[in-house]
Homo-oligomer: A and B are copies of this chain.
Amino acid sequence: MPRATLAAVAREAAVSRQTVSNALNAPERVRPETRDRVLQAVARLGYRPHRAAQTLRTRRSQTVGARIERLAEGVQGVVLVRFLHALTARAQLQGYRVLLFAAEDDERETAAYAELLDDHDLDAFVLTGTHLGDARTAWLTAHDVPFVTFGRPWGSVAADHAWVDVDGAAGTRAATEHLVSTGHRRIAFLGWPMGSGAGDDRRTGWHRACAAAGLAVADLEVAALDGLETGRAAAAALLARPEPPTALVCVSDSLALGAWTEITARGLEPGRDVAVIGFDDSPAAAVVGLSSVSQPLEAAAETSLDLLREVLAGSARPPAPRSVLLTPRLALRRSG
């Protein structure tokens, strides 16, 4: 069966094409009984509008762009996938689709924006992995393109755009508080080097929880680039001290799993001898029994779309863009 066109629906319902269009897009302009007649014809014929035609006319594609990143060697990346799945699933419930693109760096990503906007009339973008001095948000703002970021705008300049993020500090704070409540007094933080927004944020949570519990933090903070080997080395340095920490809060599962390796290599048991808590709740964490801070990615996707709708609705007379901070959950396992 060939697809039904709007014209066919108009014939079927014995109205003009414009009335069909109105019945679907501006129902309040059509008398209820006319509208019913049209909707019945739509149902009978199984009519759905043709996107290309709609896009050509309205310059809106009902499609949002999202970048898919190359999966790093580490344990990260699962977060992006889960988010993308949730985003796609929820978007399509609202009549939106997600178009993928790949880009090696920010510069090429903005080039991709230009192309996708010109060629495909994308309505908006969903960005992930925001970072300090993010050139992408500046470009999108300058070009008046609707977008939301999953990840808050890091840095001093209060970027004025809609964003969702997970409260990393709350996650590490909860992790630290849990360790305190189970009797730990020397809790170290295994973080990334200063200057990464998310990393600094997560460090803050640990720091505050320690302060609130009256625990010392001096000498209990080490930094390492993300990775298993680096995490292992950093943990080795901590454990080699005369008075080693009894618990480790880590900025990522990669570092935590590296620490895990070092701990077991020393004949110690994570959780019993040294507590370890990671961040991201990757599958690998579940595998080995590593406690980890779990990001609410379904909620993040849903909120992204909520914010996007607001941005798209208000693009003429923009209200203050909203931002939402979601609280992560602590997934407790054997290690902490």
Contact = CB atoms under 8 A, between A and B. Distances in A.
Interface of A: 3, 48-53, 55-56, 61, 63, 66, 68-71, 73-75, 77-78, 80-82, 84-85, 88-89, 92, 97-102, 115, 118-121, 228, 254, 257, 261, 264, 282-284, 286-289
Given A98-B100, A120-B97, A283-B74, A68 B52 contact: no
A56 B74 CA distance: 43
Contacts of A261: 287-289
Contacts of A75: 283-284, 287
Contacts of A49: 119
A71 B85 contact: yes
Nearest to A55: B52
A252 to B, nearest CB: 12
Tell which of A77, A80, A118 has the most Cβ of chain B within 10 Å. A118
Given A52-B120, A71-B85, A88-B102, 9 more contacts: A51-B121, A69-B85, A70-B85, A73-B286, A88-B101, A89-B102, A98-B99, A261-B287, A288-B288
A98 B100 CA distance: 6
A335 to B, nearest CB: 13
B283 A120 contact: no
Nearest to A84: B68
Contacts of A120: 51-52, 97
A278 B183 CA distance: 38
A55 B77 CA distance: 34
A85 B102 contact: yes
A71 B82 contact: yes
Contacts of A101: 88, 92, 97
A283 to B, nearest CB: 5
Nearest to A231: B287
Contacts of A53: 52, 56
B52 A286 contact: no
Given A53-B56, A102-B85, A102-B92, A257 B287 contact: yes
Contacts of A115: 48
Given A56-B50, A77-B81, A88 B100 contact: yes
Contact of A119 (B51, B68, B118, B228): B51
Given A71-B82, A73-B283, A257-B287, A56 B52 contact: yes
A191 to B, nearest CB: 19
Identify which of A73, A77, A92, A287 gathers the most chain B CB atoms within 10 Å of its CB. Answer: A287
